[in-house]
Copies of this chain bind each other. A is one copy, B any other.
Amino acid sequence: MKITIVGLGLIGGSMAIDLKKRKFASYIIGVDNNILHANIALHNGIVDEILTWEKAISKTDIVILAVPVNVAHKILPKILDALDNQIVTDVCSTKARLAKLTENHPKRGNYVACHPMAGTENSGPWAAQSNLFDGKACILCDVEKTNGTAKKIVTSMYESLNMRIIQMEAESHDVHAAYVSHISHISSFALALTVLEKENNEKNIFDLASGGFDSTVRLAKSNAEMWTPIFMQNHENVLEVLETYIQKLIGFKDVLQRKSTEEMDQLIFDANKIRKILNTQ
């Protein structure tokens, strides 16, 4: 397969590496408005050629859109306009608006809405890595709107990345992504802001940061270019889960103020239930 990847960041770059390594892709064209990113991807051998997306489409079988969701909103309808028999898929973390934007397009059948749920706190082609997607979930949304061939080919592409394929409606995806992914990021960003405000002496953060702090604050290193559009796009669902999160924290505050060890034990026992769910993975 000849593949065009639009957006050569962590996700696009990591897909390029493994699609080539695992022989799914025979040739990869990279597209990136950021000349530095494009050059690094080319010189590191992540892609074979750099072109504009307009020029790349006619030369490829699949176009993968790996750009922030606000950029995808602008570019996906244009790519659909330009398609012949090629397939286009995206990797965005919010799906409802993309579903709306494409629902009546004559080429809707060529589009496979996807969210490969993998990543790190790093960004850019220098963060791209092999095996990033192994064992992780890839959500395919609204597959009934995609034609059979496109669905089959894109499914086999994500299978070559060793992903678990799950199907979901776009609206439903955005709700669950808010619950399981987006709130984690806000939790971590706010934690970083808190520690940076309270701990005037940076050396103390450096000295005292243990594995636990590193783990909870890791996502706070994630970039605004990707995450601001996700939060804005999914703001209703994120607001709902954020409100619950704030209420849970107020619950902890209340128990602490009353110094109730029994209630604190109960809160922790209840939170520990997450172990059973995650440890079955």
Contact = CB atoms under 8 A, between A and B. Distances in A.
Interface of A: 117-121, 136-137, 139, 164, 166, 176-177, 179-181, 183-199, 202, 204-224, 227-229, 231-232, 235, 238-246, 248-253, 256-257, 259, 261, 264-265, 267-275, 277-278, 280-281
Given A252-B186, A253-B239, A177 B208 contact: yes
A184 to B, nearest CB: 4
A227 B272 CA distance: 12
A244 B213 contact: no
B221 A137 contact: no
Contacts of A272: 192, 220-224
Contact of A269 (B224, B243, B250, B253): B224
Contacts of A217: 184, 274, 278
Given A213-B180, A224-B268, A245 B249 contact: yes
A212 B273 contact: no
Contacts of A265: 224, 228
Contact of A268 (B194, B223, B239): B223
Given A180-B210, A183-B191, A209-B278, 4 more contacts: A136-B210, A187-B190, A198-B240, A231-B256
Contact of A232 (B183, B223, B264): B264
